[in-house]
Amino acid sequence: MSTALIEARQVTKVLSGIVPVTLVRDINLAIMPQEFIAITGPSGSGKSSLLYLVGLLDLTTSGDVLIDGRSTTMMTEKERARVRLTRLGFVFQFHFLLPEFTITENVALPMRGLGRLSPRAITTRATEFVDSFRLGVHLHKTPDQLSGGQRQRVAVARALANDPPVIFADEPTGSLDSAATTQVFGILRDLVTLHGKTVVAVTHDLSLASQMRRRVHVVDGRVVKDEWLAEPATMA
């Protein structure tokens, strides 16, 4: 049996204040290799909060998140940052590309942060990534010179730069038109089916969720349904 890549154990997140707000409560969730998971739920349900917690972008109030079987609760922030750089990639609704950098330089950032490759090797690898996403003619352009769909493809390339096994995506198609949505979603699907990645995506689009292999539905900060789709729908 495969070991979970990521496991949430009784994870709770509470925002302190005069009136504390519970974002997620007592969530147990195991994310396995090569899964294609949709996290769905109404606005304000806690689905993005859950993604940030299991992706180590936020800290739990109680409970634990395990990465490759290792507890992250007692890790230092430096240790968690290292785990994010090596094991996790992130794609957001608004790409968060640095506007003053070219798209190649944006893709190179995670590799520079990890520091495993020489500057020349980083540039070569970043260039190859950009080209593999059919953006080779735009190597030296800045994000503002690209379409929304192209910018999101750059964001996916950046998420893959250090070859992490898990990609988290928070509404990755939420700001795209239908054609770009189809293209970006196809890329995420291919990461699973062709490249053996695990992709976990928050989405409000149930038509996209229906094309994924597993759906985790969150309401009021709790997982109320966790189902596997034997025959995911296909895009029209």
pLDDT in single tens digits along all 236 residues of the chain: 568 999 999 999 998 888 889 999 999 999 999 999 999 999 889 999 999 999 999 999 999 999 999 999 989 999 999 999 999 999 887 778 899 999 999 999 999 998 889 999 999 999 988 888 888 888 899 999 998 888 888 998 999 999 999 999 988 877 777 888 888 888 888 999 988 999 999 998 888 888 899 999 999 999 999 998 766 555 44
Decide the pairing of beta strands 198-202 and 214-219: unpaired
In a domain, 235, yes or no: no
Separation CA 8–CA 69 (nearest Å): 11
Separation CA 138–CA 142 (nearest Å): 8
**What pLDDT, on the 0 to 100 scale, is given for residue 1?**
53
- Token pair belonging to 94: 């608004």
The enclosing domain of 48 has a CATH number of 3.40.50.300
In a domain, 234, yes or no: no
Question: 13 near 190, Cβ under 8 Å?
Answer: no
119-132 vs 148-159: helix crossing angle, rounded to 10: 130
In a domain, 55, yes or no: yes
Q: Which residues contact 106 (CB under 8 A, 6 or more apart)?
A: 97, 98, 143, 154, 158
β-partners of residue 30 are: 7
Question: 152 near 184, Cβ under 8 Å?
Answer: yes
The C-alpha torsion from 21 through 26 and 31 to 35, rounded to 10°, is -70
Decide the pairing of beta strands 21-31 and 6-15: antiparallel
Number of domains in the chain: 1
In a domain, 205, yes or no: yes
Separation CA 61–CA 130 (nearest Å): 39
**What pLDDT, on the 0 to 100 scale, is given for residue 94?**
74
Report field, pTM of the whole predicted structure over 0.85: yes
In a domain, 131, yes or no: yes
Separation CA 165–CA 191 (nearest Å): 10
In a domain, 1, yes or no: no
Q: By residue range, what is the domain housing residue 134? A: 6-228
φ, ψ at 230 (rounded to 5°): -65, -40
**What pLDDT, on the 0 to 100 scale, is given for residue 98?**
92
Please state, in angstroms and as integers, the Cα–Cα distance from residue 82 to each residue in 8, 38, 78, 115, 149, following that order: 19, 26, 6, 11, 29
In a domain, 233, yes or no: no
Separation CA 48–CA 202 (nearest Å): 6
